[in-house]
Structure 1
C-alpha cells in the first residue's frame, strides 16, 4: 500500500484499518452495477474505498488524483495499491444531474457551478490534465457550502 501525505491526517483508528489490512468496516457497496469498480463507504469517516475490477482502466483514477492533489474541486487520495484499490474522500452534496432533473437548483447556483467548473478545468490544465469524459453525473453540488466537487476522473 502506498500512502499519500493526507493518509497521516486520518484518525489513527482509520490508519490502523489499512495498516493492518483489516478492511472490515465497510458499508454495503454504493450501487456500481456494471461499472469498472466496486465502491464501498467506510463507516463514519466520509471515505470511499474503490476496488478496481478487471474492466477498470487500472490506475487512471490514481494517477489523476495524484496529479490533481491540492485542487479543492477534487477528492483527496489517502492511500492506494496499484491495480487494486484506492481510498479517497467521499464527496458531499448531490449529483448535478439529479438537481437539474428535479428542478431543485437556482440559476444563481448554476452560475456558481459554471465558474467553479471553469476554475477546476483551468487548474487541471496547468497540471496537464484535461477532462475528456465530462458528464453532469460527475458533478456534485453542496448547496450548504456552495461548493462543486468532481468525481470519475476522465482527466488525462
Structure 2
C-alpha cells in the first residue's frame, strides 16, 4: 500500500465501521442470550427462610409473620451429610476444605442477614418516630 492509501479517510471509516459493527453484534448477542431470571444459586444443606412475593408490602412491626407468608430455600443438599468420607486422604482433605468453605460462606451470609435485619428494625423505629412527629405537627396546625 502506498502512503496515500494508508491515510485514506474511506479506509479509516471502513475499519471504524467494522469495529463498531462487531461490538454491536457482540452486545446484541449478550442481550438476547442473557438470562432475565436471576435466581440465587442453590447451595447444599441448610435452609433459609425468606418472605414470599405474596407477603404484604406494608407489614406492621408488631404483626407476626405466619407460616403461609414464608417459603424455604434449600441451601445445602442433605445427601452430602450422609455420604461416606473418601478413603483417599487427599480427597478427604479436599472435601473437608470444601465443606469448611461452604460453612464460612453461610456464616458470612448469616451475619449479613442479621445486620440487614437490625438495620431494618432501626429504620422502622425511625420511621415510626418520624410519623409521630408529623402527627404532632399536624395536630398543632389544626
Taking structure 2 as the reference length, the TM-score comes to 0.28
More helix by share: 2
Specify which structure has the bigger relative contact order, considering alpha-carbon pairs within 8 angstroms and separated by 6 or more residues. Answer: 1
More strand by share: 1
